Amino acid sequence: MVKVLVAMSGGVDSSVAAGLLVAAGHDVVGATLKLWGGPSDSGCCSVGDVDDARRVAQNLGVDHHVFNYSEEFEQHVVAPFVAGQLAGRSPNPCIECNRKIKFDVLFDRARRLGFDAVATGHHARVVPFAGQPALARGVDPAKDQSYVLGYLRGDQLKHLMLPIGHLLKIDVRAHAQRLGLRTWDKPDSQDVCFIPSTLGREDFFRRRAALTRADVVDRASGEVIGVSEAAELVTVGQRRGVAPGRDGTRRYVSRVDLGARRIEVGPLEEIMVSELALDESSISFARTAPEQNEIVMVQSSAHGRVQPATLRRAGRWSIQFHSPTRPVAPGQSVVFYRVDEPTIVEGAAIVAP
């Protein structure tokens, strides 16, 4: 038996995680993080989510606390997200929330309060590998969240419990229903928690900064084919909102140049890339960095296709894909998995501008 602090978001996954740990005989305490001080209706920061977590804890017979980390959330998640977008990058706030808040600030508080471990409801697993704990994909491929946890190090994994990683989502909901938990049929959170669905991304950013009007240009002909009123919110690789070519061919964003007020678009086959430069300061490895070129499997979005590539350091870190791939926006995270054990996470990094 260990003393476990369970991060309870008010969703079904963390509810069942707490329930499984109670059933296993652990000394469980629930904690909900108050992160966003503004309006929220689309994530895990609303008043209703806190109430759901509290009532699930009551149902399970465990203590429940609310930890206010709104200042840390603004400093380490919201402000960098906004600054990154305004600089033409596409950061992932959910990854930064996990890295800077849940597995940094919360871990530190749990240690100071005398807990042996922290548990969450992520669909991923902690498994033994080469004599050390390793992060592995969750059993449910449609819900796997190892991508957003790719920055976790071995010393953190020693004190992390992921109780639902071995379950399919349908089984998580069925277990919650058997336990009589009010969250059993609650929809999954889909959007950034601090941008209300009633507001939208563009209005959210316009309340914080002026956005750039830019021409949308066909990269092959140089012809101006449209205008964007918020170029900072356009992402490399994006197809949504991009008009097709005259021949009906789908076009994708290949480059965003805020200084020149120019967005270049083209057919997918013309904008494919073979290499990504990585932000040196962002690279994290679960164990030790490879001493030479290493073949890895790379995932560049939460549910993106995994591709073989060579992780290289020739002056600076980069990824060389074994076949051309869709471009990945600067600021996005890439996560490396082992080739011989493709469920095991090796590390992660952010794509450089």
Strand 333-338, strand 345-350: pairing: antiparallel
88 close to 232: Cβ distance less than 8 angstroms = yes
pTM over 0.95: no
Helices (H) and strands (E) in the chain, counts: 10, 18
Helix pair angle (47-60, 12-23), 10° resolution = 20
Mean pLDDT in residue range 132-161 = 95
pLDDT score, position 200: 83
Which CATH architecture is the domain 273-350 placed in? Answer: Beta Barrel (2.40)
Mean pLDDT in residue range 321-336 = 95
3-121+163-179 has which CATH code? 3.40.50.620
Count CB-CB contacts under 10 A for residue 130. 8
Taking only the tens place, the pLDDT of each residue in 65-90 is 999 999 999 999 999 999 999 999 99
* H or E element in which residue 231 lies: none
Q: What are the Cα distances from residue 75, in Å, to 34, 92, 327? A: 14, 15, 29
15 close to 183: Cβ distance less than 8 angstroms = yes
Residues taking part in catalysis: 97, 193
3-state helix/strand/coil string of 25-81: CCEEEEEEEECCCCCCCCCCCCHHHHHHHHHHHHHHCCEEEEEECHHHHHHHHHHHH
The domain locations on the chain are: 3-121+163-179, 211-271, 273-350
Taking only the tens place, the pLDDT of each residue in 188-234 is 876 678 887 777 889 989 998 999 999 999 998 899 999 999 999 99
